[in-house]
Structure 1
Amino acid sequence: MTDTLAWDVYAKDSIQRRQTNAAGEATWFNWTQYPDHGPGAEVLGIGPGSMTLDLGCGSGGNLAHLASLGARAIGVDVSAAQLALAKDRWGYMPRLQLEHVEAVAYLAQTDLEFDAVFSVFGAAWFTDPNELLPLLHKRLRPGGVFAFSHRPAIDGCYGCQAAHINRSEDQHPLVVKRWDYETERWVEILAEHGFTATAAVLPAPPGDRTVGTLLVRTEP
Structure 2
Amino acid sequence: MSEQESGAWDVWGAARPGRKEANAAGAATWFNWTQWPDHGPDEKILGTLSGARVLDLGCGSGGNLAHLVALGAEAVGVDISPVQVAKARERWPHLDVRQQTAEKFLATGTDEFAAVCSVFGAAWFTDPAELLPLVHACLAPGGVYAFSHNPPALTGCYGPQASQMQPPEKGAEPLYVKRWDYEADTWAEILRRSGFTDVTAEVIEPPAGKRTGTLLVRGVRAA
TM-score where L is the length of structure 2: 0.94
C-alpha contact 1:203 1:212 (8 A) present in aligned 2: yes
1:79 counterpart (74, 81, 88): 81
Specify the code of the residue in structure 2 equivalent to 1:29. Answer: F
Specify the code of the residue in structure 2 equivalent to 1:113. Answer: E
C-alpha contact 1:198 1:219 (8 A) present in aligned 2: no
Give matches, 1:201-220, under 5 Å. Answer: 201-207=203-209, 209-219=210-220
In structure 2, how many angstroms separate the alpha carbons of the residues matched to 1:47 and 1:121? 21
Q: Quick check: 1:63 aligned with 2:57?
A: no
In structure 2, how many angstroms separate the alpha carbons of the residues matched to 1:43 and 1:49? 16
For residues 169-209 of structure 1, the C-alpha deviation after alignment (integer angstroms, 9 at most, x for no partner) is 401210000000000100111111101211000000012x1
In structure 1, how many angstroms separate the alpha carbons of the residues matched to 2:19 and 2:68? 15
What percentage of aligned pairs have identical amino acids? 56
In structure 1, how many angstroms separate the alpha carbons of the residues matched to 2:157 and 2:17? 27
For residues 150-183 of structure 1, the C-alpha deviation after alignment (integer angstroms, 9 at most, x for no partner) is 0001211100000001113401210000000000
Shift of 1:219: 3.5
TM-score where L is the length of structure 1: 0.96
Contiguous gaps of at least 5 residues in structure 1: none
Contiguous gaps of at least 5 residues in structure 2: none
In structure 2, how many angstroms separate the alpha carbons of the residues matched to 1:65 and 1:47? 10
SS in 1 for 2:173: coil
Q: Quick check: 1:117 aligned with 2:116?
A: yes
In structure 2, how many angstroms separate the alpha carbons of the residues matched to 1:219 and 1:76? 21
C-alpha contact 1:59 1:86 (8 A) present in aligned 2: yes
Specify the code of the residue in structure 1 equivalent to 2:137. Answer: K
In structure 2, how many angstroms separate the alpha carbons of the residues matched to 1:46 and 1:105? 27
CA RMSD of aligned residues (A): 1.1
